[in-house]
Amino acid sequence: GSLEEDKKFLADLEKNCGSKTSLHEEEKQVRAEEVVALADTIKILNDDDALDLFKKALPSAGASFMQMQVTRAEMRQQARAVLSQARSRAPLGVGRQRLDFIGLALRGQKIGFEKITKMIDELVASLKQEQAD
C-alpha cells in the first residue's frame, strides 16, 4: 500500500512540477518583455522631443492670457499623444497605471503642468529603478 501511495505521490509531484516549470517559463518571458517595454518607455520619456514638449507646455512670461490658453490646449494634446505612444509600449502593471494617471491628469483642467512634470519625473525615476532591479 505504501509503495503505491508513494508512486502516486511521485506522479502527482512530477505533473505539478512540469506545469509549474512551464508557468515559470511563461512568467520569465513576460518579465523579459516588460523589461524591454520599460526601457522603451524610459527612452521615450527621456527623449529630447518629449523634454522639449513638456518644457514648451510650461507657460512663458511673455505670453498673453489668450495665447497661453491656446498653447496649453495644444501642449496638452501633444503631451497626451506622447503618453499614448509610451503607454502602447508599456507592459500591463504599475508603469502603465502611472502613465494612465498622468494621462488622466492631462485631460483634467485643474492640475498644472508643474504637477504633471513632477509626476513624470517620479515615473522616470521609478522606471529606472525597476530597470536596475
Query: What tens digit of pLDDT does each residue of 98-127 get?
Result: 777 777 777 765 556 677 777 778 888 888
The answer, yes or no, to whether residue 37 has pLDDT greater than 90, is: no
| Total-model pTM | 0.35
The predicted-structure confidence for 48-94, as pLDDT tens digits, reads as follows 777 777 777 765 555 555 555 556 677 777 777 887 787 777 777 76
Sole residue written with cell 520619456: 45
The answer, yes or no, to whether residue 10 has pLDDT greater than 90, is yes
What values do phi and psi take at 109, rounded to 5?
A: -105, -5
Q: How far apart are CA 2 and CA 131, in angstroms?
A: 50
> CA-CA distance, 132 to 125, in Å (whole number)?
11
Pair 84, 97: CB distance under 8 Å:
no
CA distance 66 to 41: 34
